[in-house]
Amino acid sequence: MLKKILLPSLSIFLFTACSLKMPEFSMPSMPSFLSFSNNKDAIALEKANVCQKIEDIDNKLFCYRKIVNENSYAQLRMGTYSVEKKDYKKAIDYLNQSIDNKNAHANLALAFLYYKGDGVKKDIDKSFELLKESSNIDPNAAYQLARFYLQGINTKIDNQKGVELINFAASKGVSTAQKMLINIHREGSFEQPRDQKKVEHWQNIVKQNKEDT
């Protein structure tokens, strides 16, 4: 019975929901969940978004390359672009540069590579740690980390922690997390009580979610 409950909920879960096809290139503006520790970070994203608005891909890349040595968002976007092109050496270099420059949003992309073993030796421990480091900042990382706790991957099963992470992601606009909470509270899975009020709450949020984080 438990497997019947878990499988539908988890079928949309983990890295199958995480596209690395230049997600930041298509991002029109600052996501609402982003917060900055200082004005320098906000300025860095604004500069990167100037490049992002350029439609021609060659000119877009030229723009990014002019600022990539100093801009963590340019490093992140060039990293995800390199993943799409399967140039994993460049991807890993760019993503590590972004992380070194305190951009927690690069952790998710690098965690994906370690989880899949693309361009690096497969390392679930490394993937887990990268997601943990950024899960309080990046709701997409929190959503992906939840699977580790709910399925006991690289750690003991911790349903409470997993659901907390899903709630955080859902509160920041991640629609897959919002939809998963609907299933969780409807079915009473992961040690959560059935709660029709919460089901209806998240159903209304999903309807209003115009910008899926």
HEC sequence for the chain: CHHHHHHHHHCCCHHHHCCCCCCCCCCCCCCCCCCCCCHHHHHHHHHHHHHHCCCCHHHHHHHHHHHCCCCHHHHHHHHHHHHHCCCHHHHHHHHHHHHHCCCCCHHHHHHHHHHHCCCCCCCHHHHHHHHHHHCCCCHHHHHHHHHHHHHCCCCCCCHHHHHHHHHHHHHCCCHHHHHHHHHHHHHCCCCCCCCHHHHHHHHHHHHHCCCCC
Whether residue 64 contacts residue 44, with contact meaning beta carbons closer than 8 Å, is answered with no
- The answer on pLDDT for 115 being more than 90 is yes
The pLDDT-based confidence of 16 (bands split at 50, 70, 90) is very low
- The answer on pLDDT for 42 being more than 80 is yes
- The answer on pLDDT for 212 being more than 50 is yes
Amino acid 167: pLDDT: 97
- The answer on pLDDT for 47 being more than 80 is yes
Amino acid at 170: A
Rounded to an integer, the average pLDDT of 61-69 is: 97
From 16, 25, 35, select the one nearest 103 (Cα to Cα).
Answer: 35
- The answer on pLDDT for 11 being more than 70 is no
For the entire predicted model, the pTM comes to: 0.81
- The answer on pLDDT for 24 being more than 60 is no
Comparing 41-45, 61-65, 191-195, which segment has the lowest mean pLDDT?
41-45
- The answer on pLDDT for 27 being more than 90 is no
* Residue-averaged pLDDT of the chain: 84
